[in-house]
Structure 1
């Protein structure tokens, strides 16, 4: 059976064009005019995009499934138009061995509704200085390495890890945090921290570790990827490193583009994240970095928590917010609708660029012969982000209640519809 998506505005390799998309089994058969198929999906007035790619999500499975699990996390991804994601290894147990990686990959495939790529840890249990067998982990199916949630404190450990990652052609995706400078802070150092009388986090906790690691990456040649950059200085450091030919990429999460610490209304833990929301000047630098290519792409850092873990004060609540279900619509509304970022640029930052930078095959591109991973968005009608519509177990989002454009209408993975907006959401 064939399916044709008709009359949509199709994003293909940097261009927006009016075209039909023909799907046969799990592949895109053709993109063109007046195509026909056994089943028709009418995308009149809608945007037809390659399925979005997010290399930074937390699914809490195994061991923390009261927060999220593979099915709910991947369903949330599909709700947001994502068809390929990279799951971080901060689960219980941490997948330090080939057997654990194989088990997680099998569960991801069995329970996930989108394609889930699995990270292995940089160091055993993410907080030690012991380096696991990267070759064996890669052979078992790990696609990259990360200790996300934990900065690697020892320069020697990171140096050895980069050497071994380079030998095995594996990317190290790093959460940059110097704990000696972090000092158990909970909010960005600045006026808001003073106003709310909360322990501050200096930007140096992020930037000094980035500076260290860029020098190590220069020495080793390792592909070093920086997770969730959040400061102007971080952007400057990456810009200098790229000019010097260092093999570095980086991402920014939507919340740093959408909010600053001055937007925090009160001691409300739904605004607590790590790194913390920074200043307006930092946000401007992040946008500039996206536009000039210093920041390579956008990744959500989808971090679901139980409601009980996000109650009370910044002082004791968990770090992190969800992002899969709100990323595209909030960014489209704030940046594309206002003319700051072109639609094609935003789509590229969330699809083909992350796929290409991480060397991922069969995702991020909508073209004949590619996997039929497709998202359809409604750009014309305003909708409210509602807690009851979330498919994630986590509802810890400061964007609930926002009015946005760009809601997902349908998500297709390998030719199969895995999310479709119901009439109640029209």
Structure 2
């Protein structure tokens, strides 16, 4: 048994927390320590539910033991105890044998690693979704621009199996090999742009499909206010759709791409300052349901090339909690309780993990001890946040009540 004393909860209350058999046994103003207890003094640091990140990719999109181990280590450093891995990696999870291979490897890690099933295979044919879901895949993942018939069948499977669909909304046919936000800056740099309508139009299409099929849909990594407005309007008729934002689209703008900085090349692209501010307003108004790290790390060899040829994606999960705290809580945009809804409770509920995401009696003791007072300046040329000062450090992570 573990007793955590003087812990500051997201509500700012100072409490003692007793953990027994991997669950939260008691929360009180004061709990007396006995001989058989391991006592940890939180010293008024935050004790938060472990973050649940629903938009994570493996390093260089390759599945092996090393990539899972690296993901686990960086995720725990960022306060993330549960991750949903997107399936667009190599080898593709096209059958139950490969899925079993993933599960065996994932079970050896100290964090919970879930995986979504890709709706289609590398030949753009429908995967055996029913088999993959029956064998442990947690959700369906797709891009909005795949075959309309495959999309339709994917929604039917989601309704039949009662699982969510995660959809990346982007119509690449509207853009000619776009690599950054379509704007004056992209014109100045001589780079092909990615238009906002290439996202907005696909969001509208998927929203209509979700309404017809009454399925749970998560719109991944939105980057425009118009997309959120479309979803908010559709929520009046379908409560089962959710807006997801990455922390990067609330922190950074297209200006990070200046000087051809490939570590700012992400998909969807970082937008202009007006869009960033509008997205924050949507967050404040309660029109955003989930935040993610959009973790998709790429090796230097994939980034240290011409901007047009560089891969999309950045590693970011290791600073996830500090990024969220610095840019959203410390800056007084939202409070810590709301942040935990966005990063822990809501995503946990979406994937059916009803025993995590809260610090409450009876819940699993997946928790993070976070000292928000510690500053850290990022000194990493491969980081989007190189030179930025972030606040907060993950001091300890508890998984099922054990320190990992």
Q: Same fold (TM over 0.5)?
A: yes
Answering whether residue 38 of structure 2 is matched by residue 39 of structure 1, we say: yes
- Hey, what does 1:142 align to over in structure 2? 137
What is the root-mean-square deviation in Å for CA atoms of aligned residues?
1.9
Shift of 1:272: 0.3
The one of 84, 87, 102 equivalent to 1:104 is: 102
Distance in 1 separating the partners of 2:353 and 2:16: 25
Paired position in structure 2 for 1:54: 53
Aligned to 2:159: 166
Assess if the C-alpha contact under 8 Å between 2:348 and 2:356 holds in 1.
yes
TM-aligned CA deviation for residue 117 of structure 1: 1.1
Counterpart secondary structure, 1:131 = coil
SS at match of 1:284: helix
Match of 2:176 among 180, 183, 196: 183
Pair 1:417-2:403 in alignment: yes
Cα 1:361–1:99 change in 2 (3 A) is farther
**Does the residue aligned with 2:387 lie in a helix, a strand or coil?**
coil
Question: Are 1:194 and 2:193 an aligned pair?
Answer: no
| Distance in 1, Cα, partners of 2:244 & 2:250 | 11
Structure 1: unaligned runs, 5 residues or longer: 388-394, 419-426
State whether structure 2 residue 131 is matched by structure 1 residue 132: no
> Aligned in 2, Cα 1:116/1:357: closer, same or farther, shift over 3 Å?
same
Contact 2:63 2:91 in 1 (8 A): no
Task: Render the CA deviation track for 1:264-293: whole Å, top value 9, x for unaligned.
Answer: 331010000000001122212221222222
Secondary structure, counterpart of 2:361 in structure 1: coil
Residue 95 (structure 1) aligns with: 93
Contact 1:305–1:396 (CA under 8 A) maintained in structure 2: no
Distance in structure 2 (CA, Å) of the matches to 1:21 and 1:386:
36
Aligned to 1:122: 119
Aligned to 1:405: 391
Give the 3-state SS of the residue equivalent to 1:209 in structure 2: helix
Give the TM-score normalised by the residue count of structure 1: 0.89
Deviant stretches of 4+, over 6 Å: none
Three-state SS of the structure 1 residue aligned to 2:153 is helix
SS for the counterpart of 1:363 is coil
Distance 2:97 2:278 in 1: 43
Could you tell me which residue of structure 2 aligns to residue 212 of structure 1? Answer: 205
* Distance in 1 between residues matched to 2:20 and 2:237, nearest whole Å: 46
Question: What is the SS of the residue equivalent to 1:326?
Answer: helix
Q: Does the CA contact (< 8 Å) of 2:139 and 2:164 recur in 1? A: yes
* Residue of structure 1 in register with 2:77 after alignment: 79
Partner SS state of residue 238, structure 1: helix
Counterpart residue number, 2:267? 274
* 1:192-341 pair list within 5 angstroms: 192-245=185-238, 247-341=240-334
- 1:404-425 CA-to-partner distances (Å, cap 9, x unmatched) read 112211111112212xxxxxxx
Give the gaps of 5 or more residues in structure 2.
none
d(CA) in 2 for partners of 1:156, 1:293: 34
- Range moving further from structure 2, 25-34 or 173-182: 25-34
- Farther off after superposition, 239-248 or 363-372: 239-248
| Distance across 1 between alignment mates of 2:230 and 2:79 | 32
Q: Distance in 2 between matches of 1:403 and 1:179?
A: 35
Conserved? CA contact 2:4–2:41, under 8 Å: yes
CA distance in 2, matches of 1:274, 1:257: 14
8 Å CA contact 1:210, 1:234 repeated in 2: yes
CA distance in structure 2 between the aligned counterparts of 1:63 and 1:339, rounded to whole angstroms: 38
Cα distance in 1, alignment partners of residues 157 and 336 from structure 2? 39
State the alpha-carbon separation in 2 of the partners of residues 318 and 62 from structure 1.
11
TM-score, with structure 2 as normaliser: 0.94
CA distance in 2, matches of 1:187, 1:352: 32
In 2, distance between residues paired with 1:301 and 1:412? Answer: 23
Q: Is the 8 A contact 2:220 2:244 kept in 1?
A: yes
Deviations 1:201-247 (A, max 9, x none): 11122111111111111111111111100011111111111123253
Distance 2:382 2:95 in 1: 32
Number of the residue aligned with 1:422: none
